[in-house]
Amino acid sequence: MPVPESAPPAGALDAAARLADRLRWFFLPLALCALVAVGVHTAADVVGELILRMVDAADAAFDGLAARWTLTAPLVDLIGPSQRVFFARGVALLWELVADALLALPMLGYDERADEVKRFRQLAAKAWARPTTLRVAHPFATGAVALAGSCAVGRLLEGTLHFGLRGAVGSAADALARGCALAAVLGLVAFIAWRAVVHALVRADARSDRIPLRRARAFTVGLPGALLLLPLALAALRAAPLLSFLR
């Protein structure tokens, strides 16, 4: 039977879908890693004010110390007001890279399961019943930065489409860009971000199971990482303007 002319696009779409299905094991971990990295960067970018205050306090303490001796007195001018922002951004970069090592890179080990929702429920229930710093901090931070990452990707898409399509479709570009951005944010949260949280739960659970059953250890293991990640997670929540896509 001859194939109708309208069939090839459907066939091509089907072939593309089959190819995408076969390559899920490859692109999903990359997507999780990339989304978390974008979220971590968004959070590190807005946490600058906090870092500036830390740099100011450290600079004042350093100047007070260096100014005591003639030999070290010239070091007082090492960090002037102009260098504050440079140092603060350097600290933000370092913070971001460490957070990427803790949150984004492990996403490359994501192993998709058919019963992902069930796995999420079981691990969340276990974290609730037997909380450890790892089981709470890492999934929370991952969720926060993944949400911020989704919003950042949505905003990038919106801006690119808004200004890219304006010449072609005029004032409709705004509604089109806004709709695409909202769809992208919802899609990212529904299909990618929550998988990142599942994988963070899986990793935190495996590491927590290795901790001896003592309450103090459950609190202290992973505490330095949590202290590093929690301010960033809070900054990420601040940098996730979900409602702005609806305004």
At its nearest, how many Å lie between another protein and the CB of residue 119? 17
Give the DSSP per-residue string, the chain: -PPPTTHHHHHHHHHHHHHHHHTHHHHHHHHHHHHHHHHHHHHHHHTHHHHHHHHHHHHHHHHHHHTTSTTTGGGGGSS-HHHHHHHHHHHHHHHHHHHIIIIIGGGGG----TTHHHHHHHHHHHHHHS--HHHHHHHHHHHHHHHHHHHHHHHHHHHHHHHHHHHHHTTHHHHHHHHHHHHHHHHIIIIIIHHHHHHHHHHHHHHHHTS-S-HHHHHHTTHHHHHHHHHHHHHHHHT--GGGGT-
At its nearest, how many Å lie between another protein and the CB of residue 221? 27
At its nearest, how many Å lie between another protein and the CB of residue 86? 7
Going 109 to 118 to 21 to 16, the CA torsion angle's sign is: negative
Q: Select 97 or 227, whichever has its Cβ closest to another protein.
A: 97
At its nearest, how many Å lie between another protein and the CB of residue 61? 9
Q: Select 152 or 204, whichever has its Cβ closest to another protein.
A: 152
At its nearest, how many Å lie between another protein and the CB of residue 214? 37
At its nearest, how many Å lie between another protein and the CB of residue 76? 4
Q: Select 25 or 128, whichever has its Cβ closest to another protein.
A: 25
Q: Are 44 and 95 in contact (CB under 8 A)?
A: yes
Q: Select 23 or 125, whichever has its Cβ closest to another protein.
A: 23
Distance from C-alpha of 7 to C-alpha of 3, rounded to nearest angstrom: 6
Distance from C-alpha of 63 to C-alpha of 54, rounded to nearest angstrom: 14
Q: Select 143 or 205, whichever has its Cβ closest to another protein.
A: 143
Q: Select 73 or 172, whichever has its Cβ closest to another protein.
A: 73
Q: Select 68 or 214, whichever has its Cβ closest to another protein.
A: 68
At its nearest, how many Å lie between another protein and the CB of residue 152? 7
